[in-house]
Structure 1
């Protein structure tokens, strides 16, 4: 019998690789016991990356979400792990050092055991400080190698980086094959090279299934010494996401490895509940193409999780590009034509920009440059006319050293713009800021929270946190969800009247108990306008008042938890007994 291979469920990444959002706090709390009951996971990825930002966009407290989701796993002895972006912390752009230090103290206190630290450039100067901060906070730092396929990303290149990260104190290494383009044999050789030199170091493999190489890659890394494999589960496995635990377990068991058994009854329950979350609202934000594998991803090397945003970009410029082509009497392009053009342009742009591994945020930078180039070329203009400041920061060295050499054309363009290259430690460009955020919290009367977790959220995601505190975020999300629901019905060819009927069919009417005038809101002395679609009511909330002929104000309560989907009586409207005031769709109480 060969060595034991453990499994980690990347529940957060399953959602992030599928669409825009993730489950709410109440949903995460419901799924956790079933994940535990499955009995096959030594680890679960609970947060990190865009997790906290998504909570803020919902209008939910991300700190409560992390604590609530990690607790059941902590109690069950299952290790939790998060994803962090090194210099960028949990966001898409650099974070001051004092904010980075606070992050590990906060996340450890919230119940997160392991932090997977990566830098999109594999820049050790961005990773090593985070290893130190994590160790000081009591977390396990899992240093990460971002895997891609290019002439410069060799086994020797990666093992040299791994040596530095292990020497800096990392007890674990993750092979992060974010686009699934790592070639299986190369990944096996890399695993073997690290294990032979550092047999005590744990190696965890994270591979997306986009181009279809992941199962071969999993087998190769396991045959060469890997310890833990990241897996997904239906209905969010395969496609651009991750291999399913059932298939991985069967393959490794047949190969002679020791693997945990799967409680299939619990698996089917968790599968059904995850589908329930999709049907509830998350499916409105999942691009169906993310459920498809595509060999085209081998050509461009872009992560599968980017396909949704990339297709949205293409659809956004499609009409404009064809308008330009028509004006030049040239044949129009289909979306597929544009997709192939974009892939070809990424393949052209990438080496000229120094082969940055195509992972957040550098995959976005390369894709954006390629898209702008395609648009310029269609117009008959030259390349490189539209490069944003973040991409220039990468080119100039502000994010760290690029793996490959910049093309002379790009260097000349930088000099023509009077830009200066730098090789300074990237962190030196971003001075400490926590004191500024402490002052803002004090001025606003905001509590810094236990373990200063609220301070951390403001410092990490200042714009989203302010929107969360003001209530704008929740309102914006509810409006976005309603638009998505309406758009789905409209796309199916239904008229607005039919859409209204569908919405009413899933809702319950709130009616007037007697004749009178409708006064919305609780302050009857200063009544305001009718509530907006998407507004949440709880069972005991005052829905409105009916002003009667006898100068009484009869209170109408919501009676159940729900969101407004249609308002039928405007402020001041005269209604008769039994008239519908509004329709509310029932929702479960959220944490």
Structure 2
């Protein structure tokens, strides 16, 4: 069976290697070529691209999506959605989630990859339901991680529940590049025998495994692989599109991508990359990720932030502290927003010299259960020391939230009444308000 390719250069490739700074003016000249290359899908939206558009690029993320959709005629457009967190860093009520998904589909999205940082399926159910309601493909994700409490069986169990909830495809989301080749083979085999759905694999080459991992996943029957065009691939990004296409060529898995077009696209992005030297992350393989587990995009951002604060010399200490904080929190997978919560706390612990002397509001909310059910037990003394035990919730966090759309619409009625703008404002109030005041 031929294996399909999803191209990530416009979302995760550039998010992982140039801190999400790729401008629409550098996307549009090459988008038709990408559309003609023979991909199954182009990942173009979601993740950190949404807020980066307004925060750093002075672009409207919705307008960006519409411009891409206008040019892409034969390839599906895909986005990454953080379940009930949508594209923000906290949970939002169902009325906001539904409107956001509806608008994403109306503006051009075909496939929505839905994940929850804690693999708490309660936080994904509504996103799956709304995605299907508005006619896009609902791709459920299992966030891959390693710990004493995670194994193939735990992931397969989650996948089966997602299949029961109506997902139309499944993604193994290995955001830190921790999935080793033989474990991938084992996991894909088990998934394919238990669920009758297309399975996609998404990994990063941070630890150096991902090319081999993809090959073993393909041998085990994976249907789709996520790759990035050479200029924005490997290191903390995905395996290289041209390389994987060449690996599978003339085999039973050959995807028949257009090699000449891929060459042109690669050449284009090599030129473009020169404009973004200030943000360029690491192409190095870093096996330390096996211990600290930080996802690709976060590593480059952490280095940038520490550099700006003249604390780059503490980078190694912080990397050592991250797994300790993660253990204390019950081994959450490290992906937005838990990677930020754990990473930020590790920074506080090292820079202040006192563990948990200072904790963020998000850290307290995690302890309260406001992000969902942690995979393992939180260290009891951490809860006692930091919050009131009575504050801990055990139900689906979004059930405790009041509808928010109408209130937000009233708050910015003098700036904009456009539904997309109101949604941008709900997710990123300060950033969006500033942006909308300048542009509306």
Report the TM range for the smaller structure's normalisation: over 0.9
1:119 maps to what in 2? 116
Matching of residue 87 in structure 1 with residue 63 in structure 2: no
Q: In structure 2, how many angstroms separate the alpha carbons of the residues matched to 1:186 and 1:6?
A: 21
Residue 405 of structure 2, aligned match among 434, 450, 458: 434
Residue 277 of structure 2, aligned match among 273, 283, 289: 283
CA contact (8 A) 1:7 1:42 kept: yes
Matching of residue 105 in structure 1 with residue 72 in structure 2: no
Q: CA deviation at 1:353?
A: 0.9
CA contact (8 A) 1:353 1:405 kept: yes
CA contact (8 A) 2:229 2:266 kept: yes
Residue 5 of structure 1, aligned match among 3, 6, 10: 3
CA contact (8 A) 1:414 1:420 kept: no
Q: TM-score, normalised by structure 2?
A: 0.94
Residue 45 of structure 1, aligned match among 43, 46, 56: 43
- Structure ranking higher on relative contact order (CA contacts 8 Å, 6+ apart): 2
Q: C-alpha deviations, 1:163-183, integer Å up to 9, x for none?
A: 111111101100110000122
Structure number with larger C-alpha Rg: 1
SS of aligned partner of 2:236: coil
Matching of residue 423 in structure 1 with residue 415 in structure 2: no
Instruction: Decide whether aligned partners of structure 1 residues 354 and 447 sit closer, same or farther in structure 2, where only a CA change above 3 A counts.
Output: same
Residue 250 of structure 1, aligned match among 224, 246, 252: 246
Instruction: Decide whether aligned partners of structure 1 residues 69 and 342 sit closer, same or farther in structure 2, where only a CA change above 3 A counts.
Output: same
- Give matches, 1:441-456, under 5 Å: 441-442=412-413, 444=414, 446-448=416-418, 452-456=419-423
Q: TM-score, normalised by structure 1?
A: 0.71
**Mean Cα deviation higher: 230-239 or 310-319:** 310-319
- Give matches, 1:517-528, under 5 Å: none
Q: C-alpha deviations, 1:531-556, integer Å up to 9, x for none?
A: xxxxxxxxxxxxxxxxxxxxxxxxxx
Structure 1: stretches of 5+ with no match in the other structure = 320-333, 474-591
CA contact (8 A) 1:172 1:202 kept: yes
1:460 maps to what in 2? 427
Q: Which has the higher helix share?
A: 2
CA contact (8 A) 2:170 2:200 kept: yes
CA contact (8 A) 1:46 1:70 kept: no
Residue 318 of structure 2, aligned match among 337, 342, 345: 342
Matching of residue 394 in structure 1 with residue 377 in structure 2: no
Q: CA deviation at 1:92?
A: 1.8
Q: Which has the higher strand share?
A: 1
- Give matches, 1:66-81, under 5 Å: 66-73=65-72, 75=73, 77-81=74-78
Q: CA deviation at 1:5?
A: 0.4
Q: In structure 2, how many angstroms separate the alpha carbons of the residues matched to 1:52 and 1:406?
A: 32
Q: C-alpha deviations, 1:379-428, integer Å up to 9, x for none?
A: xxx4211111101111221110000111233233245x566221121102
- Give matches, 1:180-219, under 5 Å: 180-199=177-196, 201-219=197-215
Instruction: Decide whether aligned partners of structure 1 residues 371 and 461 sit closer, same or farther in structure 2, where only a CA change above 3 A counts.
Output: closer
SS of aligned partner of 1:41: coil
SS of aligned partner of 1:291: coil
Cα root mean square deviation, aligned: 2.1
SS of aligned partner of 1:33: helix
Instruction: Decide whether aligned partners of structure 1 residues 301 and 364 sit closer, same or farther in structure 2, where only a CA change above 3 A counts.
Output: same
Structure 2: stretches of 5+ with no match in the other structure = none
Matching of residue 308 in structure 1 with residue 296 in structure 2: no
SS of aligned partner of 1:471: helix
Q: CA deviation at 1:440?
A: 3.1
CA contact (8 A) 2:17 2:237 kept: yes
Matching of residue 404 in structure 1 with residue 376 in structure 2: yes
SS of aligned partner of 1:190: helix
Q: In structure 1, how many angstroms separate the alpha carbons of the residues matched to 2:404 and 2:63?
A: 24
SS of aligned partner of 2:248: helix
